[in-house]
Chains A and B, each alone.
Chain A
Amino acid sequence: MSVLHVVFKVDGAEYALPAADVLQMESFTGATPVPGAPAHVAGLVQVRGRVIPVVDARTRFGLSPGQHTLDSRVVVGQLGDRTVGLLVDSAREVLKLDPAQVRPPPPLVVEGARGFVKAVAQVGPRLVMLIDFPRVIGEETPDGDGKR
């Protein structure tokens, strides 16, 4: 049973999220910075009347900050009752991934990627990394108050 995924690019590499977790994709026109928020939070954006935090995938993945272009997208994902955006370089493809195509990531990736990559899918010649969305978004707040 193949599952529909949204594919996006960060720094040339391809990543994917189950389409069921994605609410929508928006073009990026800048975010309102929030003082004191974790470094990987680009800021706030307004999406259809809601104000949501946006996580910068480049910062989160430890990559050099890139230029925001017309291709930049905010992938708006649903995480329980949270709605959080992920800022990526581009997102313009959906793919059906068969479980047979998906393998656990090589140990080196597991170590290097801090658990952000939970599987790797082989799509023809391409390798697409399935990300662990909750982990990428994170819950860190500066004063360590993740509980309510």
Chain B
Amino acid sequence: MTASVDLADFLPAYLAEAEELLGAANRHLLAVEASVRRGIPLPRAVRELFRALHTIKGLSAMVDVEPIVSIAHWMETSLRHADRAGGRLPESSVEPLMEGLREIEQRVRQLAAGKQASPVPPGLLERLEALEAVALGTAPAKPAPVPLELEATLAARLSAAEREQLTTGAGPGRRAVRLDFVPNAERAARGITINSVRERVAKLGETVKVLPLSGPAAGGGSLTFALLLLTDAPDAALVEAAGGEPATVHALTATAPGPVPAPEPELPPSLVEEEPEEQRRGGGTLRVEVSRLDEALERLAALVVNRSRLTRAVADLTAAGAPTRELVAILQENGRQLRDMRAAIIRLRMVRVGDVLERLPLLVRGLRRSTGKAVRLELAVGDAELDKAVADRLLPALVHLVRNAVDHALESPEERRAAGKPEEGLVRLACDARSSGLLDILIEDDGRGVDARAVAARAGMPVPQTMDALLEVLCRPGFSTRDAATATSGRGMGMDIVRRIIVDQLGGELRMETRPGAGTAFRLRVPLTITLLDALVFECAGLRYAVAVGSVEELIEVDPARLVRSPGGGSGGAVTLVERRGSAVPVLALETLLGRQRPDGRGGPGAKALVVRQRGEPVAFAVDRLLGQQEIVLRPLEDPLVRVPGVAGATDLGDGRPTLVLDLATLGAARNGAASSLAPGSGRERAT
């Protein structure tokens, strides 16, 4: 049962990947064969072949195709030894390896045809296993292995090198242990997953191997991770690192920790250097094209979409009375795995804010020259990290704010001297990553501050009474505080674009504080990543839309009988109100905002409404039907033709058509125009 569900979910992706890897494996094995014939070692091809098989094994384990896992495992093992022997492979090894690849290919084809993979042909594993001995013969002599106290099934999943590491790695005060971690939903909710356990355990010792074991586990789970470690930490600390009971610790070697002579000194030093290379690669940095990461995310997105479909299918089954308890449990586990996977990929996409801002000092240096002002740029960005997609959008806004600060806010050295300030002005940019997935950015200067009166005069408006109202005026499209466009700041984007980027595109916040004569500070808050989000999906006027769950305060029923219409007559017309916990909330018909009509021509607001805060005040957006909540991949709309306020991006709900992801607050403010001025609290002029 487990197998069938996992297969349905992963099979298409698995088959594509396996096919590709098999192609590569074949190519490398042929190269190896040719080199063996000529008696020249070909370490690179051996290593590539090893990697391909290693990945095939991992993927096959995910979809539970045991025969392929076994074959790949033993092929991998013999290749690991060939790799350690400098890429030298005995000629007699080639044929069994060829046979192994053929058998794997055959099983992949069986799976593609919707059949079960047939069991491993008799004798193949033995022949492959024998290769290990052959290969070992070419490797340096090793000390006699100390027997590991490990179940045979587990031992079989360790390579010779790993077994050796465990048996020889234990020494005075250091022991080889098996730590069993049992994941479950409640632990995952507390952030205790195999990944966090791995990280914590890594601080206590050296992790040799992590083996996932399926089957009944302590505490009612169905999955256990056996972490095989070399450690000097006490059992209690290890159990604690694995989230406490029901985690358990067992010693792996009979030799008790203590002054037992360790075999370590006998180990030739060269052997240590010949550890398999995954362990050596640990600390390096890898440059990866963003497009490749996007591709990985794209594939993940397909999995997420598929899972949503699966969830719906299971819900239908459940509704029809089918026994789906186990299916539901598997789905939940699958959801957690996808989330972990997402987190892992998103971590790959993170760039250091410091690296993103590396051109700012150069910019300020240029401004110093062009403006003749003395400026010091202080960067305090720490080691905060940001999704590349966010960083790319954010940078122009930051550049603008810094440029503005130097160009408009800071006074000339003479003015500053006259005001009793140091001649050199200060622009400071500081970042602070918050645990909630948000990054706070502060850009402040010690310049002249924003003159609210002058701003009001320029905009032809009454003097704004609050900071937010003042910022609102500054962010009006086309607003400029300068009489003449200067070479640096007068062109290009204004504060309106800064706000567009921060608020509309990134879904962040922008605030300002200013004190006349003392300086101005802009506080930005942006999400660290914008790629995936939990969304509510609903239907309105015959189309589906999604909104970020986080932006919706409440879902309410709209009872037409209880709607109240405020008097019309003003420029905006009447406003419909609905009562919510003793206060009146304006109801906007979403289809009107979207400029659409229901296919059946029916009028009036929809039956459900999403309550969203629009400039601090609740507004209800009426829709026809709620379809549920699911995780979506947000694709920002880049093209100027479709970059419109209120549309955060598009997503694929599984039908291959883009579904719009709306930002209701912005949509309401942008599309409702004059009507919003009548709605309490939603007017643009209102100072919040």
Which positions in A face B, CB cutoff 8 Å?
29-30, 32-38, 41, 44-46, 49, 51-53, 55, 82-84, 137-148
Contact = CB atoms under 8 A, between A and B. Distances in A.
11 contacts: A32-B657, A34-B637, A36-B647, A38-B641, A44-B658, A45-B657, A46-B652, A53-B639, A140-B640, A145-B640, A148-B493
B639 A148 contact: no
B671 A36 contact: yes
Given A36-B646, A140-B640, A141-B641, 15 more contacts: A32-B650, A33-B594, A33-B596, A34-B637, A35-B647, A36-B645, A44-B660, A45-B657, A51-B635, A55-B641, A84-B641, A137-B641, A139-B641, A145-B640, A145-B643
Contacts, number: 90
Given A32-B650, A32-B658, A46-B657, A37 B641 contact: yes
Nearest to A82: B639
Interface bracket on B: 20 to 34
Interface string B651-671: 010001111100000010011
A146 B640 contact: yes
Contact of A35 (B298, B593, B641, B658): B593
B644 interface: yes
B154 interface: no
B279 to A, nearest CB: 36
Interface in B559-586: none
Interface in B459-516: 477, 492-493, 497, 500
B637 A51 contact: yes
Interface in B284-304: 298
Interface in B597-613: none
Contacts of A41: 641-642
A51 to B, nearest CB: 5
B595 interface: yes
B639 A84 contact: yes
Given A44-B642, A51-B650, A35 B659 contact: no
B543 interface: yes
A55 B642 CA distance: 11
A37 B642 CA distance: 6
A63 to B, nearest CB: 19
Contacts of B638: 82
A36 B670 contact: yes
B657 A34 contact: no
A interface, by DSSP: helix, strand, loop or mixed?
loop
Nearest to B544: A32
Contact of B641 (A45, A46, A138, A148): A138
A44 B651 CA distance: 11
A148 B639 CA distance: 11
A67 B187 CA distance: 56
Given A32-B650, A46-B652, A51-B635, A141 B640 contact: yes
A81 to B, nearest CB: 9
B396 interface: yes
A145 B647 CA distance: 15
B640 A139 contact: yes
Given A142-B644, A143-B645, A32 B639 contact: no
B645 A34 contact: no
B670 to A, nearest CB: 7
A38 to B, nearest CB: 6
Best-buried of B396, B500, B635, B671 by chain A (most CB within 10 Å): B635
B640 A36 contact: no
B646 A35 contact: yes
A35 B657 contact: no
A32 B637 CA distance: 13
A40 to B, nearest CB: 9
B306 to A, nearest CB: 14
Nearest to B396: A148
Instruction: Indicate the member of A41, A44, A139, A140 with the most B CB atoms within 10 Å.
Output: A44
A24 B643 CA distance: 23
B488 to A, nearest CB: 16
B647 A32 contact: no
Given A55-B641, A143-B477, A35 B656 contact: no
Q: 9 nearest interchain CB pairs? A: A36-B644, A44-B658, A35-B594, A53-B641, A53-B642, A32-B658, A51-B650, A51-B658, A34-B642
Given A45-B658, A141-B641, A35 B652 contact: no
Contacts of B593: 35
Contacts of A84: 639, 641
Given A36-B671, A51-B637, A46 B658 contact: yes
A41 B658 CA distance: 15
Contacts of B298: 49
Interface in B617-647: 635, 637-647
Contacts of B595: 35-36
Contacts of A33: 543, 594, 596
A138 B639 CA distance: 11
Contacts of A45: 657-658
A32 B660 contact: yes
Contacts of A38: 641
Contact of B671 (A35, A53, A148): A35
Contacts of A52: 639
B82 to A, nearest CB: 39
Given A35-B671, A45-B658, A141 B596 contact: no
A25 to B, nearest CB: 17
A77 B146 CA distance: 67
B493 A34 contact: no
A88 to B, nearest CB: 17
Nearest to B644: A36
Contacts of A46: 652, 656-658
Nearest to A30: B657
A5 to B, nearest CB: 24
A49 B294 CA distance: 11
A120 B332 CA distance: 61
Interface in B408-465: none
